[in-house]
Amino acid sequence: MNQFLKIGQRVLATLVLICAANVSSQAQQTDEAPVVESAQSSYLPSRKQVYDIVIMGDVLGTGLWAGMNRFVETEDRVTVTGRIQENSGLARPKLYNWAKAADNLLGSRPFDIAAIMLGANDARDINSPEGFLRFGSDEWRKAYAAQINALVNALKKHKVAIYWIGVPPMRRKSYDNAMKVVAEVERQVMAERGVRYIDLRLLLADSDDSYTDRGDDGTGTIVRLRSRNGVKFIAGGNDRLAVELMKLVKADIAIGDGAGGGPAVVPLQEEVILTPEELAALPAFVAERPGAEAPVKIEPAQLPGLNYTEIARVNEDAIKRAAREGLTLFDKVRSSTVEGSAARLLFTDGIWPDAPADRFDSFSVAKDPASSAQ
């Protein structure tokens, strides 16, 4: 492994992906640490004493929010809140449209930073006007990238700084292969859009790129980070997510502080000094760096089947039964619904039925004051 690869990996392990669109400054060396000139405009929208962060995500985003709540107890520069839909994703906008939700949220309450953690529920085909797009296909990748871009556009419309947390390694092999596909599309879009990206596979995978439930908790201590289901994080893992996010946020806050008077000092792990040209040359994918192995292409047979989902599986017994029958649990549940029913529409097309007009909690129906008083 050559020197350039080692430098790139050390930097990415600390501040992850730094996109070329955000590296226009001249870095200078001091006796203490690298310096970013104040000529660089901050990644953050404006210079503030306190920055408001909103966590947007699925079930893994819930853990990130919990870890951030603990982290900010000792921080006076940031606040944190969250918008979580545990079973949501970007592959089913009819079920939950994250771009629309983000636009509505930010239109009603401004935030400075949005931390996004989505993708764990997206190992599924996409229902497009042309029909179902097979998960992992070129058409699927384009459609999924379009959904990611729609969310990025909604966030950029409100001038928030975006930090995208990639999907982590997963214990189940087929699910892990699926998450590699999701992460690949996420990384590519973030690189193209100049968005800060935290590569959890690079940070949390074992030395052979396989799943491990143990790792650095952010303080140098090796502990168990993941739940026994091989998907979620336990408290130590959620704290690690918060540590990685705040490393990047605090570095950008330092740049923002320096923008008004003098350069901001941004410490890098092991005092590695990179020029702007070297930073800009770092690609989105580890395997593309000089001296690294070629990217591994995952064969379709190794990917989950139609509308596969992991988070929504109910229990181990149900998983075993579905496996014996050659079906994912999602397929099993969907096949048990009645043709033409609201349940079939929900499971097949992601279409929620409209509420009955005469329902007691419908705000569109004028109620008789006399009857409501009884």
195-226: pLDDT as tens digits: 999 999 999 999 888 999 999 888 888 999 99
Residue located via tokens 């107890």: 73
pLDDT above 60 (res 62): yes
Distance CA 263, CA 108 (A): 35
Q: What percent of the chain has pLDDT over 90?
A: 47
Q: What's the pLDDT score for residue 328? A: 53
4's tokens: 């350039």
Q: What is the mean pLDDT of residues 362-370?
A: 42
End-to-end CA, the chain: 79
pLDDT above 50 (res 263): no
Query: Helix, strand or coil for residue 221?
Result: coil
Cα dist from 355 to 346, 360, 364, whole Å: 14, 10, 11
The strand pairing partners of 128, in sequence order, are 131
Candidate from 116-120, 230-234, 360-364 with smallest mean pLDDT: 360-364
Greater confidence (104 vs 274) lies with 104
Distance CA 207, CA 227 (A): 20
Q: What's the pLDDT score for residue 286? A: 35
**58 pLDDT tier (thresholds 50, 70, 90):** very high
pLDDT above 70 (res 34): no
165's tokens: 């947390």
pLDDT above 70 (res 71): yes
| Mean of the per-residue pLDDT values of the chain | 74
Q: What percent of the chain has pLDDT over 70?
A: 58
231's tokens: 């998907």
Distance CA 181, CA 167 (A): 10
pLDDT above 60 (res 55): yes
0.85 exceeded by pTM: no
295-348: pLDDT as tens digits: 455 566 666 655 555 543 334 555 555 555 555 555 556 566 666 676 666 666
Greater confidence (169 vs 72) lies with 169
**349 pLDDT tier (thresholds 50, 70, 90):** low
Distance CA 361, CA 234 (A): 38
Cβ atoms 19, 195 nearer than 8 A: yes
DSSP 177: H
The strand pairing partners of 180, in sequence order, are none
Residue located via tokens 């950008």: 252
pLDDT above 70 (res 101): yes
Q: What's the pLDDT score for residue 152? A: 97
282's tokens: 């770092």
Cβ atoms 83, 101 nearer than 8 A: yes
Q: What's the pLDDT score for residue 130? A: 83
Query: Helix, strand or coil for residue 161?
Result: strand
Q: What's the pLDDT score for residue 348? A: 61
264-296: pLDDT as tens digits: 333 333 334 445 555 444 443 333 334 444 445
pLDDT above 90 (res 258): no
92's tokens: 């089913």
What is the greatest pairwise CA distance in the chain? 81
pLDDT above 60 (res 373): no
Q: What's the pLDDT score for residue 325? A: 58
> If we measure between CA atoms, which residue out of 45, 288, 62 comes closest to residue 165?
62
14 sits in which H/E element: helix 3-15
Q: Which amino acid is at 271?
A: E
Q: Which amino acid is at 50?
A: V
Distance CA 351, CA 5 (A): 47
Q: What is the mean pLDDT of residues 92-97?
A: 92
